[in-house]
Amino acid sequence: MKLIKHPNNPILKPHATNYWENLVVCNPGVWYENGKFTMLYRAAGDDEQHYIRMGTAVSEDGVNFDRVSDEPSFGPSVDGPDQGGVEDPRIVKFGDEFYVTYAFRPHYPGQYWKFAHDVILLPEVGSDSPAVMRDNIANSGLAVTKDFKNWRRLGRVTETNLDDRDVILFPEKINGKYAMLHRPKQWVGAEYGCETPAVWIRFSDDLMVWNEPSTLLIAGIKGTWEEKVGGSTPPLRTDEGWLVIYHGVENGGQGHYRVGVALLDLEDPTKVIARASDWIMQPEHDYEMEGFYKGCVFPTGNVIVDDTLYVYYGAADKYVGLATCSVKEILEFVKKG
- Model confidence, pTM: 0.98
Task: Give the list of residues 6+ apart from residue 186 with CB closer than 8 angstroms, or none.
Answer: 162, 163
Identity of the amino acid at 24:
V
User: Which pLDDT does position 168 carry in this prediction?
Assistant: 98
Q: pLDDT (tens digit, 9 = 90+) per residue, 142-200?
A: 999 999 999 999 999 998 899 999 999 999 999 999 999 999 999 999 999 999 999 99
User: Which pLDDT does position 160 carry in this prediction?
Assistant: 83
Task: Say what the alpha-carbon torsion angle 12, 13, 16, 21 is, to the nearest 10 degrees.
Answer: 80
User: Which pLDDT does position 252 carry in this prediction?
Assistant: 79
CATH of the domain at 119: 2.115.10.20
Angstrom CA distances, 61 to 39, 40, 112, 287, 310, stand at: 12, 16, 34, 22, 11
User: Which pLDDT does position 215 carry in this prediction?
Assistant: 98
Domain boundaries, position 275: 4-335
Q: Is the pLDDT of residue 25 over 80?
A: yes
User: Which pLDDT does position 259 carry in this prediction?
Assistant: 98
Q: Is 328 helix (H, G, I), strand (E, B) or coil?
A: helix
Burial of 309 (0-12, 13-18, 19+ CB in 10 A): buried
Q: Is the pLDDT of residue 253 over 80?
A: no
Angstrom CA distances, 43 to 25, 40, 48, 89, stand at: 4, 10, 14, 11
Tally the domains of the chain: 1
Question: What backbone phi and psi angles, to 5 degrees, belong to 108?
Answer: -60, 150
Burial of 50 (0-12, 13-18, 19+ CB in 10 A): buried
Could you check whether the bond before residue 89 is cis, i.e. omega within 30 degrees of 0? no
Q: pLDDT (tens digit, 9 = 90+) per residue, 81-138?
A: 999 999 999 999 999 999 999 999 999 999 999 999 999 999 999 999 999 999 999 9
Q: Is the pLDDT of residue 337 over 90?
A: no
What's the mean pLDDT when you consider all of the chain?
A: 97
Task: Give the list of residues 6+ apart from residue 234 with CB closer than 8 angstroms, or none.
Answer: 90, 91, 92, 168, 169, 170, 171, 302
Instruction: Give the separation between CA 104 and CA 219, rounded to whole angstroms.
Output: 24
Q: How many helices (H) and strands (E) does the chain have?
A: 3, 21
Q: pLDDT (tens digit, 9 = 90+) per residue, 294-335?
A: 999 999 999 999 999 999 999 999 999 999 999 999 999 999
Q: Is the pLDDT of residue 59 over 80?
A: yes
User: Which pLDDT does position 54 carry in this prediction?
Assistant: 98
User: Which pLDDT does position 58 carry in this prediction?
Assistant: 98
Tally Cβ neighbours within 10 Å of residue 165: 22
